[in-house]
Amino acid sequence: MFLLPLLFALSRSLGLLGIQISQPLADVVTFAVSIPLNVRFMREMKGGG
């Protein structure tokens, strides 16, 4: 979801360095997006019995 857009955008602006940092940056963004989703899921699991 985030890797390909970051690869295209960062390779155009930063060249090889953009390609090298796109994977770790995509991982960080994915982690940041998953936190609220997981918190919501865990709250629903706890209260929805």
10-residue averages of pLDDT along the chain (49 residues): 96 96 97 96 82
CA atoms within 13 A on the CB side of 37: 5
pTM of the entire structure?
0.78
CA atoms within 13 A on the CB side of 33: 8
- Number of residues assigned to the chain: 49
pLDDT at 37: 95
The boundaries of the domain holding residue 30 are 3-47
Let me know: does 22 contact 14? Beta carbons within 8 Å.
Answer: no
Alpha helices in the chain (DSSP H): 3-14, 16-47
Instruction: State how many domains the chain has.
Output: 1
pLDDT at 46: 87
pLDDT at 48: 60
